[in-house]
Amino acid sequence: MSGKASVIKKSLCLLALAAAGTLPLQAIGDHPPGAQRSADNHKRAHATKEHAGELVRAVREATRRFRDIDIAIAEGYQLHFGCVSGADYGAMGLHYVKMDLVG
């Protein structure tokens, strides 16, 4: 192979390597890898939070009247067990239960 042919061959190889090096950049486009997946996950999480918020609102509305303990007792709820507390676990309030609903 002549010196000129060798230079042309090396030049073509370098050009091919340079072109191949840009392929990953073209594949990325405007967003880094995983960006679309991350955006989709964010949208799903937001929708889940909205749904959970709606559920919390519905439960609060349905149980609002029981903030008055006398109403709860009048509707058949009884103190099932008292306040539970612990140094490591905090505390929970009084638990009224309507046994017809749970047992």
Report the DSSP pairing between strands 78-81 and 84-86. unpaired
Beta strands in the chain (DSSP E): 78-81, 84-86, 90-92, 95-97
Please name the residues in contact with 99: beta carbons below 8 A apart, sequence gap of 6 or more.
78
Q: Phi/psi of residue 98, each to 5°?
A: -105, 100
For residues 61 and 74, membership in a common domain is answered with: no
For residues 45 and 72, membership in a common domain is answered with: no
The pTM assigned to this predicted structure is: 0.44
Closest among 72, 92, 70 to 82, alpha carbons compared: 92
For residues 103 and 74, membership in a common domain is answered with: yes
Domain that holds residue 41: 32-67
For residues 11 and 26, membership in a common domain is answered with: yes
For residues 24 and 43, membership in a common domain is answered with: no
For residues 13 and 25, membership in a common domain is answered with: yes
Domain count, the chain: 3
For residues 50 and 21, membership in a common domain is answered with: no
Mean pLDDT by groups of 10 residues along the chain of 103 residues: 66 63 57 62 67 88 94 94 81 88 84
